Amino acid sequence: SDAFDRQAGLALVIPALYALTDEFHQTLAPSRTASARDVIIDFLGAMIGLAIYWSIRRSATRAPAAAVA
């Protein structure tokens, strides 16, 4: 659905932007360095989290209704 696609996009864009700003902030600290690798790791974490959510949501909508006794 379009609404889920927009939400999924935000669920990836927001962590990516946060990771970028965090890495930029690290360049301002004398003892820290920025790393593109860290941004990629953060983005992959967001992707994995979204995939887990999507699979749970998908399985929940496909699960048969429980029999009422």
The pLDDT tens digits for 12-64 are 999 999 999 999 999 999 999 999 999 999 999 999 999 999 999 888 887 66
Handedness of CA 8, 10, 12, 13 (dihedral sign): positive
Q: Inform me whether the pLDDT recorded for 69 exceeds 70.
A: no
- For residue 33, the model assigns a pLDDT of 93
Mean pLDDT (the chain, rounded): 89
pTM of the model: 0.77
Nearest to 24 by CA among 37, 34, 38: 34
Helix (H, G, I), strand (E, B) or coil at 22: helix
- For residue 58, the model assigns a pLDDT of 85
- For residue 68, the model assigns a pLDDT of 63
- For residue 60, the model assigns a pLDDT of 83
